[in-house]
Amino acid sequence: MSAKVIDGKMFAERLAGRLKAALSDFSAQVGRKPGLAVVLAGCDPASEIYVRSKVGMAGELGMASIEHLLSADIGQKELLRLIAQLNDDDAVDGILVQLPLPKHIEEAAIISAIDPDKDVDGLHPQSSGKLVSGIAGPVSCTPLGCLMLLKSELGSLAGLDAIVIGRSILVGKPMALLLLNENCTVTIAHSRTRDLADKVRRADIVVAASGQAEMIRETWIKPGATVIDVGTTRVVRDGKKRLLGDVHFGSALTVAGAITPVPGGVGPMTIMTLMHNTLLLAFRRCGLPAPALW
């Protein structure tokens, strides 16, 4: 038995086609492109790569992107003033503040200052509250991309046992809530979970977001389970730089029913769901019915 490899890049390309059609419709009705503002403070190399990818994809799809590249020593008050300006700018439909921020800036204060109607990353407390309540609103991009892949692969998720390994505000917590809203029975595991391997073996769906490279091996996985690997750890092996997931991909292939690779699985979906969220916010802000995109 060899698991099906879930091609996140292919799914993202199909979603991009639907987004382009909806973008054209929006521009025809409103007379402008949807606008995404991206704020980067400092020069973290990984963050710079992510921002370039996001801005590049926005341009490729036909969105307007506004970059604010700030020095690492920017003050919190100055950053809050910029957020206030973007909140008031009618050409901006989505605001993304790239995390992590410099250590002297309180991330929670910056996230909370974003207009909830422009919260493209779904991290504002109001967005989180909507997710808890099952109310439509922006959802954190990586978990939303994982859900898209799961539903594309499995259809209805109702009644399935799912485990989410990791409890971050970016992935673990919103992922668990999304699965609950799909009527899964959900376990949230973390660094202090006892008998983690045993709990993973019971799950029909495994979402791995622990940040520990290749922690999950084939002996942990229920035969036929669907495995979504969110992990991205950069290592050097045999003199070559490699990107590893939380799951040992080679061994998991022999047990799982379907699995995402790293890279090429969740990564392409994260950027595309950011575009998806921006477009939906643009439609809502303009009082237009949001299109069904997936």
Catalytically annotated residues: 54, 98, 121
Q: Looking up tokens 């901006």, which residue turns up?
A: 92
Tokens of residue 214, six digits: 């290749």
DSSP codes, 217-235: -GGGSPTT-EEEE---EEE
Which residues in 192-205 are b (16+ Cβ under 10 Å) and which e?
Answer: ebeebeebbbebbb
**Residues with Cβ within 8 Å of residue 256, at least 6 apart in sequence:** 3, 221, 224, 225, 226, 227
According to DSSP, the β-strands at 205-208 and 226-229 are: parallel
- Phi, psi angles (nearest 5°) of residue 265: -110, -90
In DSSP terms, 280 is beta-bridged to none
DSSP codes, 141-196: HHHHHHHHHHHHHHS--TT-EEEEE---TTTHHHHHHHHHHTT-EEEEE-TT-TTH
Q: What totals of helices (H) and strands (E) does the chain contain, helices first?
A: 10, 11
**Residues with Cβ within 8 Å of residue 223, at least 6 apart in sequence:** 1, 255, 257
